[in-house]
Amino acid sequence: MHLAGIALAALFAVTLGLVYRHDRSVMKAQRLKLFEACLALFDHHRLTQDAVDFPVLTGCYGGYDVRVEPVVDQVVFRKIPSLWLLVTVRRELPMDGTFDLLARTQNVEFYSPASSLPMRVAIPDAWPRHTSIKADRPAAELPLGLLDPHVRTIFDDPRSKELLVTRHGVRIVYQAHSADRSEYLVLRSAAFREAHVPAALLKSILDQAVAVCADLASGGTHAQA
Q: For residue 172, what are the β-bridge partners?
A: 87, 163
Lowest-pLDDT range of 8-17, 70-79, 180-189: 180-189
Judge whether 21 lies within some domain. no
* Distance between CA atoms of residues 91 and 169, nearest Å: 5
Inside any domain, residue 84: yes
Within a domain: residue 20? no
Instruction: Evaluate whether residue 26 is within a structural domain.
Output: no
Q: What are phi and psi of 106, to 5 degrees?
A: -125, 5
Tell me the pLDDT tens digit for each residue of 108-134.
Answer: 899 999 999 999 999 999 999 999 999
Domain assignment present for residue 18? The answer is no
| Number of domains present in the structure of the chain | 1
Q: How much of the chain, in percent, has pLDDT values that exceed 90? A: 64
Q: Quick check: is 217 in a domain?
A: yes
Q: What is the pLDDT of residues 39-58, one digit of tens each?
A: 999 999 999 988 878 999 99
Of 149, 145, 151, 143, nearest to 97 by C-alpha is 143
Q: Is residue 6 part of a domain?
A: no
Q: 142 in a domain, yes or no? A: yes
Which has the minimum average pLDDT: 27-36, 50-59, 175-184, 194-203?
175-184
- The DSSP letter of residue 115 is G
Q: Which domain holds residue 149?
A: 33-224
Per-residue pLDDT tens over the stretch 127-184: 999 999 999 999 999 999 999 999 999 999 999 999 999 999 999 999 999 865 555 5
What's the pTM?
A: 0.83
Question: 39-42, long-range: CB within 8 Å, 24+ apart, which pairs?
Answer: 40/199, 41/199, 41/202, 41/203, 41/206, 42/66
